[in-house]
């Protein structure tokens, strides 16, 4: 575990491994988005503007989701959670980043659906890299395990002194495989964003069985219900895109 990579000399300002991996995730995501923007017929220069908007919206949404949920479920003080060291919930970031991206598309007059299809591979890669950051700081680990790759996080959030499932790395592997699948599908899929939502939802739903998140209903966690919502949303996008393609073909005929 490497929660702090180094401290800036003279300022005594620690650079956390999670922050570094999150920044790397955004940068790699931006790099991946450039050729995808071209393939979708969009101006790649718009990617820089939208990246900043999505990044700010994503970080704020991730932190807000954490603070609100932990306040409602565990009674943690809202502002303490907002400014704590840990606590960035991906789904909060996904919602916040998605809303910010949509607002940015409206502002710069960029078609939202083509942009979503251009950005979804970047989302998968960026999230995968961010999960490596979670591993380095010992956050979001799973239940106890005696598997050979199980890891203890004595300085984790919170600390755990026995081997547990490194579920953050499970998610990294799943998302990278998903990104590779989406890359191969990018020119044939009717809705790449829809496929990303399904991949993301299925992966999180399954991995959540090894996570320690509280079960809220039917033995499932909040994240699993959100995962099912993503799967449903992905199916809706795919069906909608297929119907539009079918209508276009019928009109052409």
pTM of the model: 0.87
CA distance 223 to 11: 38
Q: What is the pLDDT of residue 83?
A: 73
State the burial class of residue 44 (Cβ atoms within 10 Å of its Cβ: 0-12, 13-18, 19+).
Answer: middle
Q: Where are the domains of the chain?
A: 4-42+111-252
CA distance 215 to 114: 36
Q: What is the pLDDT of residue 247?
A: 61
CA distance 79 to 236: 37
Q: What is the pLDDT of residue 1?
A: 64
CA distance 68 to 104: 25
Give every residue of the chain whose pLDDT is below 50, as ranges.
none
Q: What is the pLDDT of residue 121?
A: 96
Q: What is the pLDDT of residue 220?
A: 96
CA distance 109 to 114: 12
The per-residue pLDDT for range 176-205, each reduced to its tens digit, is 999 999 999 999 999 999 999 999 999 999
| Per-residue buried b or exposed e for 191-207, using 16+ beta carbons within 10 Å of the residue's own CB | bbbbbbbbbbbbbbbeb
Q: What is the pLDDT of residue 204?
A: 94
């Amino acid at each position: 575990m490497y929660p702090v990579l180094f401290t800036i000399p003279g300022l005594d300002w620690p650079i956390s491994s999670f922050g570094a991996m999150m920044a790397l995730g955004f940068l790699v995501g931006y790099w991946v988005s450039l050729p995808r923007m071209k393939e979708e017929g969009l101006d790649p220069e718009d990617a820089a503007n939208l990246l900043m908007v999505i990044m700010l919206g994503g970080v704020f949404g991730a932190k807000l989701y954490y603070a609100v949920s932990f306040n409602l479920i565990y009674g943690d003080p809202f502002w303490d959670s907002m400014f704590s060291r840990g606590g960035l919930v991906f789904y909060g970031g996904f919602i916040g980043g998605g809303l910010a991206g949509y607002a940015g598309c409206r502002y710069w007059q960029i078609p939202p659906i083509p942009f979503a299809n251009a950005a979804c591979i970047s989302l998968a890669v960026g999230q995968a890299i961010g999960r490596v950051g979670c591993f380095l700081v010992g956050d979001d680990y799973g239940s106890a395990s005696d598997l050979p790759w199980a890891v203890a996080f004595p300085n984790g959030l919170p600390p755990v002194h026995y081997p547990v499932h490194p579920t953050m790395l499970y998610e990294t592997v799943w998302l990278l495989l998903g990104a590779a699948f989406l890359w191969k599908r990018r020119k044939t899929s009717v809705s790449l964003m829809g496929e990303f939502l399904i991949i993301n939802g299925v992966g999180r739903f399954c991995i959540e069985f090894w996570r320690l998140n509280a079960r809220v209903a039917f033995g499932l966690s909040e994240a699993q219900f959100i995962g099912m919502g993503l799967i449903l949303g992905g199916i809706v996008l795919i069906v909608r895109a297929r119907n539009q393609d079918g209508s276009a073909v019928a009109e052409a005929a």
